[in-house]
Every structure is written in C-alpha cells, then in structure tokens.
Structure 1
Amino acid sequence: MRELVYTGFISLDGVLDSPGGGPGEEHRSRGWVFKDIEFLPEAFSLKGEELEETSALMFGRRSYEAFAPIWRDSDDHADYRELPKYVVSAALPDDALVPGWGPTTVLRSTDEVVELKKGEGGAIFIHGSAELARRLSDAGLIDRYHLLCFPLLLGAGKSLFSTADKAKQVLRLRDSAAYPNGVVKLLYDVVR
C-alpha cells in the first residue's frame, strides 16, 4: 500500500495559510515563512530529503492552480517536473491541467484516493492543500506528517487539522530537529 505524506509549513497555532506569499495567497500575513524568520538553509533541508522518497505529488484544486504554473518553470522545483501528479477535485475540468508539468491525473473523490493508495508505488506527498489535508486526515488516509513549525502565531487562517469531533488519533515521532531561527522540524507517523 502506498503512503500518503502531508508536508508543509505551519505556524505554532496550526495555521498553514499563505506561507510563501505567492499569487492566490490571501492571508493578511502572507509570506510569513520568509518575512519574519531568519532564513537558514539547514531548516529547509527536509525538502531535499523528501524528494528522495517522493514517487508522486498530490494537490487539492486551489493549490494545484497556484503551484502548477509556477513550479513547472521553476529551477527550484525542477525535480518535480516529471513526477506523476494527482489533483483531487470534483470541479477541475481535465482541460484545465497545466501542460508540460509531467503526467497529471484528476481524482474526483476520496474513494479514488483510497484506490490510489491500494496500488503499487512509493510515497505520495501532499503539498499545500489545506482543505484536502483536513478531508484526508478525517478519513484516516494520511500516514505521515512532515511539518516545519515556525515560531509565529498567525491567528485566523486555514488550519491543517479540522475541528470535526472524531476519535483520538495517536502520532509517533519519527524525527525532529530544532534550528537556531526557532523553526522546528516534526516528522510523525500516524499510528494505526
């Protein structure tokens, strides 16, 4: 069975809204990853480590529409170009897919994500996609969390976790590191 891994930047109060400040990011504090915290390359080394085990990428519609046109041509994201991509959306038309960014499949439901996980292959990494992450977490489909937690309190904004009343979910720490700029790497396995 394939693993689904959520990877993202998160504030200490659980907000992951608009970290990079790019097009389509509307949060009042957009760009918070780079504005208020000293940039230390070692704090972002997780992204390179993840690439070694990434066999595919997954996005919700809004994150796909924001990332695809930029990441397709970005030298920083060149290693993502030919990886298979999955967009989970009931509304995205097939003709809205960005050409030249590797094979992309639209999954129309959570059930299709379940079927994808049952297939052969390596880990699928979910980037951005707060709404999708909440939905897949609530459905018990996320296997790991790779978080870079920033020493900020952002208040309102898109949160990684829903407020749904559901059973307790235990996480097991896989790895962690703290950096001099206050960023903390937290890697958790979901205990089943």
Structure 2
Amino acid sequence: MRTLIVSEFITLDGVIENPEWTYTEVKPVPEMYELKGREQTEAGCLLLGRVSYDEFAPVWPDMEEFAEYNAMPKYVVSSSLENPQWQNTSVLRSLDEVRTLKESDAAGTILVHASGTLARGLLAAGLVDRYHLLVFPLVLGGGKRLFPAAGGTKARLDLVEHETYSNGVQMQVWDVAR
C-alpha cells in the first residue's frame, strides 16, 4: 500500500489559504525547502483537488523547478473536470478511487499539495498517512484552515521529524497514528 502524504505551508493559527505570505512575510532560507525537494524525488504521483489543479496547471508546466512533478502522473479529485490539459493528468471522481490508487502496487508516495478541502476529506476517509508541514511564524487571524476549528475529524498524530530554521519556520513531519 502506498503512503499518502498531505504537504502544506501553514501559519501558526492553521491558515493555508493563499500562501503568498510564504514569500512576502518571512525571509526564505534555502534549507527550509529541503523537504520539498525530498517530496518531489519520493513521490510516485501528485494528487490535487480541483481548485489547486486550476491554479497549478497553467503555471507549473513551464517552471523548471517542478520538472519532476510535471513528468509524474497527476490525479485530480473532481466531479466536474473534463479533459485535463496538464500532461499525465487523470481525473478521479471519488475518494473510493483515491483508495484504489493508494492500494495499488505502484512505486512512490502519493503527494497531496495545497489542497485543503481534499485533505480534510481524505483524513475523514482514513486515507492520510502523513503530514509534511512547513509552519510559518505568522498569525493571520482568518482564512481557510487545514484543520477546521470545530466539527472536524479527530486524529492522533505522532511527530517523526522536525527542524526549526533560522527564519523561524518549522518543518514538522507527522504520521497519523492508527
């Protein structure tokens, strides 16, 4: 069974929406992106929600730093997307199809990038195995959150890796306890 990883840039108050704050509010340091490089080389496919697909598909194919993502299979969970144009992209219509993808014997992890709504649904369905979080030392006070304040799915997490960088960003890797 493949490992499904949710990867997010997130603020201290849990906001993941419109992460331009990752570039404007905190001075980047190269070492904080090491996890992102590791994700690209370990991933066997990229799994996206429809909104993230619509944002990434017009931009990422022309970006040299995303060459590995562009080459790998990509899956979009959507009830309405037809004929995706991004190279190697397929549409999954349900979380049951995600479960089948996860149960396949294909190589590499399944990486969910910047898709909060999808990530919440995957957690509720018991499909998330790990979280890769880059936690930025910011409090935005509002915006879409990875984990809702109330009424969400409960999960116990085990910290398996962490590091704090000179700019205050924390890398946290959490396994979902089963």
Q: CA 1:165–1:49 in 2, change beyond 3 Å: closer, same or farther?
A: closer
Match of 1:48 in 2: 37
2:71 to 82, 98, 109: 82
Match of 2:2 in 1: 2
Q: CA 1:78–1:191 in 2, change beyond 3 Å: closer, same or farther?
A: same
Contact 2:95–2:122 (CA under 8 A) maintained in structure 1: yes
Q: How large is the Cα RMSD of the aligned pairs?
A: 1.2
Give 1:2 deviation, angstroms.
1.1
In the TM superposition, what are the counterparts of 1:72-111 in structure 2 within 5 Å? Answer: 72-93=61-82, 95=83, 97-99=84-86, 101=87, 103-111=88-96
Contact 1:13–1:152 (CA under 8 A) maintained in structure 2: yes
Q: Structure 2 stretches of 5 or more lacking a match?
A: none
**TM-score of the superposed pair, with normalisation by structure 2:** 0.94
In structure 2, what residue type is equivalent to 1:46? L
Query: In structure 2, what is the Cα distance between the partners aligned to 1:158 and 1:7?
Result: 15
**Identical-residue share of aligned pairs (%):** 47
In structure 2, what residue type is equivalent to 1:148? L
Q: Is residue 113 of structure 2 the alignment partner of residue 127 of structure 1?
A: yes
Match of 1:63 in 2: 52
Q: Structure 1 stretches of 5 or more lacking a match?
A: 20-30
**TM-score of the superposed pair, with normalisation by structure 1:** 0.88
In structure 1, what residue type is equivalent to 2:103? K
Give 1:156 deviation, angstroms.
1.5
The total of aligned residue pairs comes to 176
Helix, strand or coil: the match of 2:120? helix
Helix, strand or coil: the match of 2:71? coil
Query: In structure 1, what is the Cα distance between the partners aligned to 2:57 and 2:166?
Result: 32
